[in-house]
């Protein structure tokens, strides 16, 4: 059931993309990670498809059934009060009717936004994007559509030109934001930002600071699967230390 709080969360999430400075978005994979992120003071969070899949023993890339993903999303949503965006990968279907059912399930769960990626190519992607945008308009519902474009990640020819053209097409189709993966060059990011009116989202990297991304005009910085990996890397280190030292001190 969509509540007044859900409507407020959508408005908050939308506004976060239109501030003078970028907001940092933490990516979560279960209730506990989500609770820690909210308690730490983040203004919004998003799921990581890779982190959720890996935590449940699936490979990334829509190997997890949508019903299982939805269960995790509902559990997370029940435990937090800040906006939640969902990594929807490619939509978990090629069927546009079923895709809209997935969107409705997320709206019903109180989700504020989605990422949906164009790895299958522009033609397939535009059909999905147009379908989602039309469905939301026809049902008078709202969800922030962050259009993920993988021209750099997929190492396509002329990735900058492709990204700029895709940004134009996706904005016209109803996207609310542009998520560019696989890019960490400040000059390239600045060119992308200056070419579109969509707020631009990139993934955090040690190669470029938050201040540098702010100077480029980036509006959203997300963490993808890296917070998850960092968490379990620390656990692995502790577990190995217990065995190697024959002591439990590393846990405390």
- Residue % of the chain over a pLDDT of 90: 98
- Identify which of 233, 213, 182 has the alpha carbon closest to the alpha carbon of residue 25: 213
- Identify which of 90, 100, 96 has the alpha carbon closest to the alpha carbon of residue 60: 90
27-45 per-position pLDDT tens digit: 999 999 999 999 999 999 9
Could you give the CA distance from residue 229 to residue 232 in angstroms, rounded to a whole number?
5
- Identify which of 223, 214, 216, 212 has the alpha carbon closest to the alpha carbon of residue 196: 216
Checking if the pLDDT of 218 tops 70, the result is yes
DSSP line for 20-56:
SSPEEEEEE-SHHHHHHHHHHT-S-EEE-HHHHHHHT
Q: Provide CB contacts within 8 A for 102, sequence distance 6+.
A: 66, 88, 91, 92, 93
Please state the rounded mean pLDDT for residues 94-114: 98
Checking if the pLDDT of 1 tops 90, the result is no
- Residue % of the chain over a pLDDT of 70: 100
Extended strands (E) in 6-135? 23-28, 45-47, 84-87, 113-117
57-90 per-position pLDDT tens digit: 999 999 999 999 999 999 999 999 999 999 999 9
Architecture (CATH level 2) of domain 4-251? Alpha-Beta Barrel (3.20)
Could you give the CA distance from residue 162 to residue 152 in angstroms, rounded to a whole number?
9
Please state the rounded mean pLDDT for residues 126-152: 98
User: Is 152:166 a contact under the CB 8 Å cutoff?
Assistant: no
Reported confidence tier of residue 3, pLDDT bands at 50, 70, 90: confident
């Amino acid at each position: 059931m969509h509540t007044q709080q859900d409507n407020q969360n959508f408005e908050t999430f939308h506004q976060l993309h239109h501030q003078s400075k970028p907001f940092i978005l933490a990516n979560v994979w279960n209730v506990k990670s989500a609770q820690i992120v909210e308690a730490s003071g983040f203004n919004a969070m998003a799921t990581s498809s890779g982190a959720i899949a890996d935590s449940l023993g699936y490979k990334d890339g829509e190997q997890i059934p949508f019903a299982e993903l939805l269960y995790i999303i509902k559990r997370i949503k029940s435990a937090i009060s800040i906006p939640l965006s969902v990594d929807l990968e490619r939509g978990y279907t090629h069927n546009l009717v079923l895709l809209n059912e997935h969107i409705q399930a997320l709206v019903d769960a109180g989700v504020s936004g989605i990422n949906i990626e164009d790895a299958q190519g522009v033609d397939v992607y535009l059909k999905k994007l147009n379908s989602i945008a039309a469905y939301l308009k026809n049902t008078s519902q709202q969800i922030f559509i962050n259009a993920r474009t993988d021209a750099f990640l997929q190492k396509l020819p002329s990735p900058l030109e492709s990204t700029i053209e895709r940004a134009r097409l996706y904005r016209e189709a109803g996207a609310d934001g542009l998520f560019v993966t696989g890019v960490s060059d400040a000059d390239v990011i600045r060119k992308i930002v200056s070419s579109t009116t969509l707020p631009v989202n990139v993934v955090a990297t040690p190669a470029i600071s938050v201040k540098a991304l702010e100077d480029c005009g980036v509006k959203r910085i997300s963490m993808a699967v890296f917070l998850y990996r960092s968490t379990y890397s620390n656990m692995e280190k502790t577990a190995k230390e217990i065995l190697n030292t024959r002591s439990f001190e590393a846990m405390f």
